[in-house]
Structure 1
């Protein structure tokens, strides 16, 4: 039995067990086993419904050393707490997409379920997620926040086992956990209950989605509780490739024990999910930021992916080649085990320990954009090699379809794209130990030690340019031609591949982080003052194989494999050992029981990762630490009618590296260093003018630009030609100047339950592709909706939809192109939003 089939069967058995056990409990407990009402207090061990409490009275556990957490009104930093109900209401397309509920967070959800680019206002990322950490139960999922072809939301899926998420930006996060200076999302799992409770739900989506979710929390023995749950789904995807775009599931279990003076929680999770990684498609650009459909391509639903290009053989893959499958996408097969232990030692002493061990594969099977499309004739004969052409002798070529044969029309629009395969095996173990002592009334000192050891073992096969039709669900093309010497040359192989990779490396990374931190918190009447410092060392080593070009088959007439870079048995090793001290100081003043103000300053650092600091550099010549200086001020208020959480910040960066690459993603030249300066405002607010009507707003404004690099940056551009650009004063890439989500909702009570209806209007302001600001991505809006009916507290019916008016909006253009990406005729490769998607769920709760 293969692993995929085994996992599918395991999930089915687990869900069935949850249902069977839940039904038995429901018979015994009758109505008392129903889910708690919105106004009821949860039983011991039961997942709390934070909707029942005032928002400012909610307790957050992220970014604080306080035993048992800290009320939001007392937190001198920006944190958004998202309940399980709020997560459902947001209808996120992925784990990363949920971050949109936090102002200033900008997750690009156009690439699919995984591999999101996550931007944070004022933190100049520009791709992947270097300034973002995913935590589960307070433990980081990996020692580094991002690697090439990996960011941590890729190994976490949302389902009914999640009680809530806490999203923290800046503030004290430079001291705790992994010392993330950007943003942290901490996902808290549901635990067992005194009164058994659970749910089973089935969802159908208009994109061909079928999904089953289940959860059960139960009592095992006195003060011992357990929970199990998970999901399984199969979806064609809004951009259907002709096979399952997203397929897989997740299983989670917890075991918790309440002691007289503390708690102990064990948790385990198994993830096996594969997801289509969506490639930019062609559009037409008019002016600087107006976009429309490319003829023959629906920008809302089409994709290049197809059954014709699904399976390939990649001879350039390290170790002698491999087969690969686009249906495996950019998914994850990961296992997790962790525990949290909190204990009151008495006499003002408290102990806390968080441990996580996890590991698995996070592979990538995907297309990556190259040059812009052109007619077959232009591609073969007219365009120069700098623009993706081949400059063959006029009339010399024969082009036929790989599958089904037949000559290709010379006027057919074609494109060549990289069929990339990256095998990534990751392991991680970390532990965060804290000991606190109340020194005197209101003053608590906390000392902590954070240790993490993690590894990365990769094999890359980048390049593999495949010639294909520039059409939805593309068809591969093979080409041969007769040279001026009368010999017949094979331009592509039998699959349509123009090469067997341009960067075929193995990579092995090992890293250990050691950090010690001290934090003192002092409550004086309505004042709460905290000061914290952290000293951290990262000791990393990376070994990458050296490459030598080889003619794989020894035949000079097969051009696709004449110069394939392969590992030659030697290796380049880079060591990285850096130490840095971070600190933060915060002051919170409670003006009244429902209102507070705060101010905070911090300085933090971003250590280098295996791919963006070590690979390609030598020991002692790695980039310097990226450093941030952050000042923020905030105001929080809540009464019967209004809730407001407003913060303003000033963030300055130094040591930001930019590594120029060619069209195949291979580094070119030395990295450049620059900085940035940003000011902005974040806001979360809600108004309840009358009973049952609620108006919610999530909004941010950003004035951010690059700084500290006065010279002109030369760049390679395969569409418009090479050039040079100044970046000082240019808007931070991929970050909207402003963004807001406005959600009016209304609840209609009936004798049998209630119905809530809502609409979310989202506006995204001007944003750009890269540091040059030359490629504008425009503005756009979307409309989402939801109708949720609760029937007798047992049944829930949910109808929700995203982008219901089919708006065309871009989050990214061709990331292989630096500068303007629009070529002849205004053709541009870009990632637009997916079109309308509607799903309906029936859930039974007990």
Structure 2
């Protein structure tokens, strides 16, 4: 254990003791509530309230100037204030999205790169049906794996609004799934702010700060600046900093006679370890336990021994020459070096006209240096040498020697694994603008015309052709293997334990450039008639995509037959293929809300959305289909002093879902659909003063449809099999998931204390579309405690996965079909226990 971790755990122990002592001393002094801190925002057209009230104004998913109250919205939207975000104990941006019922972030890979499932949206991996927004602007117009890595949570976020389906098909990039709109904290009429210092049990130290202030006297201008810096060894300690970096955000806003204008800038420079599938014992379907030498909760393939990599990428054709390549530091992880600049203009005039405009510019690098699973389960070192030398066509009578990269001899009987170290470079750039022009046609009826335009580009290259032979244990050593016949020496791996597969694969070398334009026009109408609120709209979107990708070939990189490891490597050639395409598609929605009383309403909505192809679709499928989504939902909202309830039922139909499978015979493309029905629920009950119980959950029954043919896949024994996916459950999505949080607030004479515990249940799932990889179910237990001391001090203690549960989020993602062999599976579990303590001063 590192000195830093020992120190941090001692600090945490003292913090826990201090909080418990404070609670014991002051438990019976409860007579008054804590005075709110002086976080006094400037007046707004849409003043926010507590997130658990139907009177709260929301700005996402509607075109109304200033937003609408939740009780009036004909759709379900989940909100969380800055304080509530803290109480949700999110370990990352993606993990926070579970605040919306039916959203399942697979928070097992670290701070970034999570697969995010939205109930009833068949996505398989990544997060195609999730759009992250900043102040109403999509961070990137098209889905890509890096979206959740583009920013981090900190005290510059005022609140989040998460909307599933509903009218979101009209606005922004037309996302039919989930929109998570992160709204920035702005300057204040009175100078105010906070600074916090956090220590974590995983060797983490973090500094947060925010300051809001008026600019000049009575000028109507306000500014703010804030952000964070932190360093962490990580729950999965790779022997170097797992997470290191920070973020800085500034805003500038101004009150106008008929509205407001604000600008914001955000800069992120952060490095985060990305964790891939690891070996886990799988004695029975859906049952998992620790693999010897590798904890599913804290284990990682990262180590000082395999931190520095060299990828051979460029051949040389002279005997004895050294191929060209690149040096890669795996400590860079999956991070981001991203810059954002945006602005919002909102105007409402007395003659019924209103105007809104939102723009955002995003540019930067979203690189990844990480290990990825090759799909092969661990085997003995001697077995690996025998199988691999045969696959390379070497004689069977060779004598093998194996050493670690430090020169010490390796044990031929130890278990080893083959991992794929990758370097992925993504350079992104995007500018988008959304314009709304509204006019009240007559009392209660407002018509809005709008346009969304985005111009964006991406350069995507990968150097990931080699595999690396590693010990099948935490923080492994690479293994170097040489074979000899007494005269000649055959290098099965290079000096870093890396080698190329005996058969070329198309993903070994990769370089592509893309540019695209999205233009959409929409018309929406909102009509208030007594207790009714009706709304509807249509959108037409047109996408133009163009790009090129570099061709590859395979061969010997160094013209040396004895360096076996690179005799059949794949590398880029000086030729390109060019791809372009354009298509248009409509979307529409109709909704109605009826107010049964001031605190109760019912609603219904129907919409048709589309999901137009992304860059990867253009490469993999050449002529990808347009996915069409039909969503129907009804809901009920109710609030009383003792209860808050927001419950909705839905039915979701998909058509034209593409999927690609790589088999030994080549790539197989499928197009299918799905049918899903389900129920989302958010309920908070307050049976007596200061105590509440919150329930957020989802029941989903979703199945594949529309593909009657036999779907090919590779079995665990390597044979080619096939089966139908019709009627199979949507993969990776639980039928039942819920989170139950009892909390108690204890007012005291010096402030207040709040305690809460969250029990999270994730139902059984399958890791593949054929239901051959059962992932089982799991639960996680987290806790939190906050002490507000006077008007200035706040102490927070939080912990996640306190019982160290193994929770499998994905099976072997490189296999389609069976994944477990010999009682072992390559899979990924949620992280083990983590506890952190923060001391914050508010001023």
TM-score normalised according to structure 2 size: 0.92
Q: 1:113 to 1:43 in 2, by over 3 A?
A: closer
Q: Which residue of 2 aligns with 1:556?
A: 561
Residue 222 of structure 2 corresponds to residue 217 of structure 1: no
Q: 1:117 aligns with which of 92, 115, 118?
A: 115
Measured in 2, the distance between the counterparts of 1:743 and 1:279 equals 30
Cα pair distance change 1:686/1:475, threshold 3 Å: same
Aligned to 2:23: none
Q: Which residue of 2 aligns with 1:279?
A: 276
Deviations 1:330-373 (A, max 9, x none): 00000000000011244100010000001000001010111110
SS of residue paired to 1:425:
strand
Residue by residue over 1:12-38, the C-alpha shift from the partner in whole angstroms, topping out at 9 and shown as x without a partner, is xxxxxxxxxxxxxxxxxxxxxxx9955
Residues 344 and 128 of structure 1: CA distance in aligned 2, closer, same or farther (over 3 Å): same
1:31 corresponding residue in structure 2: none
**Using the alignment, how far apart are the partners of 1:725 and 1:424 within structure 2?**
37
* Whole-angstrom distance in 1 between the partners of 2:288 and 2:672: 31
8 A contact 2:587–2:607 mirrored in 1: yes
- Deviation at residue 445 of structure 1 after TM alignment: 0.2
1:542 is matched with: 547
Aligned counterpart, 1:17: none
Query: For residue 690 of structure 2, what is the aligned residue in structure 1?
Result: 692
Q: Alpha carbons of 1:645 and 1:260: their partners in 2 closer, same or farther (altered >3 Å)?
A: same
Pair 1:83 & 2:78 matched: no
Give how far 1:482 is off: 3.0
The 8 Å contact of residues 37 and 842 in structure 2, kept in 1 or not, is answered as: no
Indicate the larger mover: 135-144 or 493-502.
493-502
1:598-617 equivalent positions in 2, closer than 5 A: 598-611=603-616, 613-617=617-621
Give the Cα separation in 1 of the matches to 2:760 and 2:621.
42
Alignment of 1:81-230 (within 5 A): 81-146=79-144, 150-221=145-216, 222-230=219-227
Q: Is this contact kept in 1: 2:34–2:751, CA < 8 A?
A: no
**In 2 relative to 1, CA 54–332 (structure 1 residues): closer, same or farther, beyond 3 Å?**
closer
User: Aligned-pair distance for 1:294?
Assistant: 1.0
- For each residue in 1:294-325, what CA deviation from the matched residue of structure 2 results, as whole angstroms up to 9, or x when unmatched? 11222211111101000011112799421111
1:263 aligns with 2:268: no
In structure 2, the CA distance between the partners of 1:241 and 1:535, relative to structure 1 (3 Å rule), is same
Q: Deviation at 1:43?
A: 4.4
Q: 1:516 aligns with which of 504, 516, 521?
A: 521
Q: Classify 1:92/1:810 alpha carbon distance in 2 versus 1 (closer, same or farther; 3 Å).
A: same
Counterparts of residues 496-511 of structure 1 (less than 5 Å): 496-499=497-500, 502=505, 503-511=508-516
Q: Does 1:837 align with 2:834?
A: yes
Gap change, CA 1:93 and 1:202, over 3 Å in 2: same
More divergent stretch after superposition (45-54 vs 350-359): 45-54
Aligned match of 1:348: 352
Pair 1:52–1:293, CA change in 2 (3 A): closer
- In the aligned structure 1, how far is the partner of 2:827 from the partner of 2:719? 18
* Cα separation, partners in 2 of 1:657 and 1:486, compared to 1, 3 Å: farther
TM superposition shift of 1:480: 1.5
Show the counterpart of 2:624. Answer: 623
Tell me the SS of whatever aligns to 2:661: coil
Contact 1:380 1:392 in 2 (8 A): no
Q: Deviations over 1:607-644 (max 9, x none)?
A: 11111x211444xxx11101100000000000000000
Tell whether 2:597 aligns with 1:597. Answer: no
Matches of 1:286 and 1:348, distance apart in 2: 68
Map 1:149-548 onto structure 2 (within 5 A): 150-221=145-216, 222-316=219-313, 320-370=324-374, 371-382=376-387, 393-394=395-396, 396-482=398-484, 487-499=488-500, 502=505, 503-548=508-553
CA gap 1:94/1:781 in 2 versus in 1, 3 angstroms: same
Indicate if the aligned counterparts of 2:49 and 2:57 stay in contact, CA closer than 8 A.
no
Conserved in 2, the CA contact under 8 Å of 1:683 and 1:700?
yes
Deviation at 1:719, TM superposition (A): 5.7
Match of 2:706 in 1: 708
Q: Give the equivalent residue in structure 1 for 2:650.
A: 649
Equivalent position of 2:571 in the other structure:
566
**3-state SS of 1:309 partner:** coil
Question: Structure 1 regions of 5+ residues with no counterpart?
Answer: 1-34
Would you say the 8 A contact 2:51–2:81 is kept in 1?
no
**Is structure 2 residue 737 aligned with structure 1 residue 733?**
no
User: For 1:763 and 1:236, how far apart are their aligned partners in 2?
Assistant: 28
Distance in 1, matches of 2:719 and 2:101, equals: 38
C-alpha displacement at 1:717, in angstroms?
A: 4.3
Q: Distance in 1 between matches of 2:314 and 2:301?
A: 23
1:343–1:351 CA contact under 8 A, matched in 2: yes
Cα pair 2:45 2:259 within 8 Å, conserved: no
Partners of 1:285 and 1:47 in 2: how far apart?
A: 56
The C-alpha deviation readout for 1:690-713, integer Å capped at 9, x for no partner, is: 000010000100000101111111
CA–CA distance in 2 between the matches of 1:756 and 1:48?
28
Moved more, 270-279 or 709-718: 709-718
1:200 Cα deviation from its structure 2 partner: 0.2
Inter-partner Cα distance in structure 2 for 1:777 and 1:317? 41
| Structure 2 CA distance for aligned equivalents of residues 721 and 738 of structure 1 | 34
Equivalent of residue 579 in structure 1, options 573, 584, 591: 584
- Alpha-carbon offset, residue 383 of structure 1: 7.6
Q: 1:399 to 1:526 in 2, by over 3 A?
A: farther
Q: Offset at 1:565?
A: 2.1
Instruction: Give the Å deviation of 1:603.
Output: 0.4
> Alpha carbons of 1:811 and 1:128: their partners in 2 closer, same or farther (altered >3 Å)?
same
* CA distance in structure 1 between the aligned counterparts of 2:39 and 2:635, rounded to whole angstroms: 30
8 Å CA contact retained: 1:250, 1:270:
yes
Q: Which moved more, 1:494-503 or 1:775-784?
A: 494-503
The corresponding residue for 1:15 is none
Q: Is the 8 A contact 1:47 1:190 kept in 2?
A: no
Shift of 1:91: 1.3
SS at match of 1:446: strand
Residue 537 of structure 2: SS of its match in structure 1? strand
Matches of 2:520 and 2:737 in 1, distance apart? 36
Secondary structure of 2:650's partner? strand
Could you tell me how far 1:407 is from its partner in structure 2? 2.0
Contact 1:212 1:232 in 2 (8 A): yes
The 3-state SS of whatever aligns with 2:637 is strand
SS in 2 for 1:130: coil
Deviations 1:512-561 (A, max 9, x none): 00000000000001100001100000000120001122322111221222
Instruction: Give the SS at the match of 1:748.
Output: strand
- Provide the rounded CA distance (Å) in 1 between the counterparts of 2:46 and 2:260: 16
Q: What's the RMSD between the two structures over aligned residues?
A: 2.1
With over 3 angstroms needed to count, the CA separation of the structure-2 counterparts of 1:304 and 1:39, relative to structure 1, is: closer
Report 1 or 2 for greater relative contact order, CA contacts < 8 Å, sequence distance ≥ 6: 2
Q: How many residues align?
A: 797
Provide structure 2 residue ranges, at least 5 long, that are not aligned to the other structure. Answer: 1-32, 316-322
- SS of 1:233's partner is strand
DSSP-derived class of the 1:110 partner? coil
CA distance in 1, matches of 2:512, 2:34: 51
Partner of 2:807: 809
Distance 1:395 1:405, change over 3 A: farther
Query: What's the CA shift string for 1:80-137, capped at 9, x where partnerless?
Result: 0110011000111110000111100000000111111010000001111011100000
Q: Equivalent residue for 2:784?
A: 786
CA shift in 2, pair 1:391/1:642, >3 Å: farther
Contact 1:800 1:839 in 2 (8 A): yes
